[in-house]
Amino acid sequence: MKTLANILATIVFSLPFTALQTAQAAESNESALITQGKYLTQMGDCVSCHTATGSKPFAGGRAIPTPFGAVYAPNITPDKETGIGDWQFEEFWNALHNGTGRDGELLYPVFSYTSFTKATREDAQAIFAYLQSLPAIRQVDRSPNLDMPYNIRPLLYAWRFLYFNPGSYQPNASKSESWNRGAYLVEGLGHCNECHTTRNALGAMNQENPLTGGEIPLQGWYAPNLSTQKGGGLEGWTSKDIIDLLKTGMSERGGAFGPMADVVRNSTQHMNDTDLAAVAEYLQSLPAPAGKPAANTQKAPDYAAGEKLYSNHCSSCHNDDGQGHKGIYPPLGGNSSITDPTALNAIRSVLLGGFPPATPGNPQPYSMPPFAHQLNDQEIAAVVNYIRQSWGNQASAISANDVMKSRFLPTD
């Protein structure tokens, strides 16, 4: 039988061990939360907007251009004076979920809270934990440089009344768990609709027809319709095609160029296979677009000139039949980036070249050289018209003036 002294000794000696176990468990939970937060932060592609060229990650300062002026992304490192080091989680949650700043000010919707509002509170807590674990960087935020009357912040009350409905994602009970996960990522943290739809004169997204494609304001690129159904921007794409593009930046149906290359580089390449499959499942469920423009069957007047230019400058990589080389140079026939309604992607690719992201699945991607200094506007218009009207492509013709206007669009 144990004496009282033995019992007391057992309790005394077990206390430090129990406390150590508790501390280790807490540390392990915090580490897991930070790891999850890093993954979710990558899903949200936060680093792309919150990092200025030549600056430290997440330190802010990058100008986000809008038709109303520039808004500068804030410092979200844990610096106590210039970042979010003194923030409480509730303040972070209000910014992400409700679009309100630490002092209650309304945030400009260039910050995608219109999509991030769908994030769950648990995911927001993980993101906050990760951001608080980063090195603190002192970098003072810059005030927005907006035109009148858009610099009158209280006017956002009216904008929000018309266009913003805060609320976390609500699962669709009639859909699979995987479909709902894909919808959550695409509609929420992935904020895909922020680029892949049209916007009205006040900058509000088309919420009635999400993911149906649209020109990215002031960037000179067209984000395509994401439906895989007939007439969609991803018509005929398989689940594997979608996963390959998001994971490696290249698929048999096309590659990631322009802004999408940055999305793959900073965000989607880090997604796990389960989430990639969920996103593909969701995108494949999107309806076919309504009212697709009639196919153009009349060749452009400069079609023959474009064919010659293509033969001289493009066919060695993309082949005479426009089918490219699988996994290296994307096909041009049936490529939605070539036949988009504005031809912006085709024009910009010829002007600036094409540079897919380097990823573990495609560590040394082949790039396309720029032709902005080699071909004039008329020549670029001719070759773009040729590829938009060959190999089954039936898109409308463009003019040299369209090319000229694209030359003066931002390159970042």
- Point out the domain boundary residue: 124, 140, 163: 163
Q: Would you say residue 9 lies in a domain?
A: no
> Is residue 271 located within the same domain as residue 392?
yes
269-288 CB burial, b ≥16 within 10 A, e <16 = bbbeeebbbbbbbbbbebee
Q: How many domains does the chain have?
A: 2
pTM: 0.89
> Is residue 233 located within the same domain as residue 293?
yes
Question: In the structure encoding, which two tokens stand for residue 82, read together?
Answer: 């210039």
> Is residue 131 located within the same domain as residue 184?
no
Q: How far is CA 259 from CA 43, 44, 45, 83, 294, in A?
A: 15, 15, 12, 27, 28
> Is residue 339 located within the same domain as residue 194?
yes
> Is residue 67 located within the same domain as residue 204?
no
How far is Cα 353 from Cα 367, in angstroms, rounded to an integer? 7
pLDDT in tens, the chain (412 residues): 566 566 555 555 565 666 666 666 666 778 899 999 999 999 999 999 999 999 999 999 999 999 999 999 999 999 999 999 999 999 999 999 999 999 999 999 999 999 999 999 999 999 999 999 999 999 999 999 999 999 999 999 999 999 999 999 999 999 999 999 999 999 999 999 999 999 999 999 998 899 999 999 888 899 999 999 988 999 989 999 999 999 999 998 888 998 999 999 999 999 999 999 999 999 999 999 886 666 777 899 999 999 999 999 999 999 999 998 887 888 999 888 898 888 999 999 999 998 889 999 989 888 899 999 999 999 999 999 999 999 999 999 999 999 999 888 776 6
CATH number of the domain that residue 231 is part of? 1.10.760.10
Cβ proximity of 124 and 97 under 8 Å: yes
Q: Would you say residue 86 lies in a domain?
A: yes
Q: Would you say residue 19 lies in a domain?
A: no
> Is residue 148 located within the same domain as residue 200?
no
Q: Would you say residue 373 lies in a domain?
A: yes
Cβ proximity of 369 and 398 under 8 Å: no
- Point out the domain boundary residue: 163, 192, 210: 163
Our CA angle for 72, 76, 77, nearest 5°, is 135
> Is residue 231 located within the same domain as residue 375?
yes
Q: Would you say residue 15 lies in a domain?
A: no
> Is residue 158 located within the same domain as residue 183?
no
Range of the domain at 241: 177-407
Cβ proximity of 169 and 118 under 8 Å: yes
Q: Would you say residue 289 lies in a domain?
A: yes
> Is residue 116 located within the same domain as residue 185?
no
Q: Which of 169, 172, 178, 176 has the alpha carbon at shortest distance from 276?
A: 178
> Is residue 356 located within the same domain as residue 383?
yes
